[in-house]
Amino acid sequence: LAKTTQPISMDSYEGQEVNITCSHNNIATNDYITWYQQFPSQGPRFIIQGYKTKVTNEVASLFIPADRKSSTLSLPRVSLSDTAVYYCLVGDPADMNYGGSQGNLIFGKGTKLSVKP
């Protein structure tokens, strides 16, 4: 059962780059790494997903080393609106139960990012 470990909280200032690292030592061969963002009283929002090396989209970058035992979400030039909880999840998207505990897509405690002016 893939399990993730993230820092509980991080502080940053506007305009800085923020890197949040997630450990997933027992990630399985078919597992992908997905990051979600959640604002208070809202459902999680998909940020980025990757399998290996580097993935970049208009919002963030995801760095995954060769052993895949960890991953780093990079948010360039954060703003106050990036204050949220960020969750790292691992799971096999081809699993019919992907999203549920049977598919090993379990929400950990997440990282609460606070961006200050």
Q: Judged by CB under 8 A, does residue 23 bind other proteins?
A: no
Q: Judged by CB under 8 A, does residue 10 bind other proteins?
A: no
| Interface with other proteins (CB under 8 A), residue from 19, 26, 79, 101 | 101
Q: Judged by CB under 8 A, does residue 7 bind other proteins?
A: no
Q: Judged by CB under 8 A, does residue 99 bind other proteins?
A: yes
Q: Cα–Cα distances in Å, from 87 out to 13, 50, 62, 115?
A: 20, 14, 13, 17
Q: Judged by CB under 8 A, does residue 93 bind other proteins?
A: yes
Complete edge-to-edge strand list for the sheet that includes strand 9-13: 9-13, 111-116, 84-91, 32-38, 45-50
Q: Judged by CB under 8 A, does residue 1 bind other proteins?
A: no
Name residues whose C-beta falls within 8 Å of residue 43's C-beta, 6 or more positions apart in sequence.
none
Phi, psi for 18 (deg, rounded to 5): -115, 130
DSSP 49: E
| Smaller CB separation from other proteins, 15 or 45 | 45
Report CA 89 to chain centroid distance, whole Å: 6
| Interface with other proteins (CB under 8 A), residue from 15, 65, 76, 100 | 100
- Please, which residues bridge with residue 78 across strands? none
Q: Judged by CB under 8 A, does residue 59 bind other proteins?
A: no
User: What residues make contact with other proteins under the rule CB under 8 A?
Assistant: 32, 34, 36, 41-46, 49, 87, 93-94, 96-102, 105-110
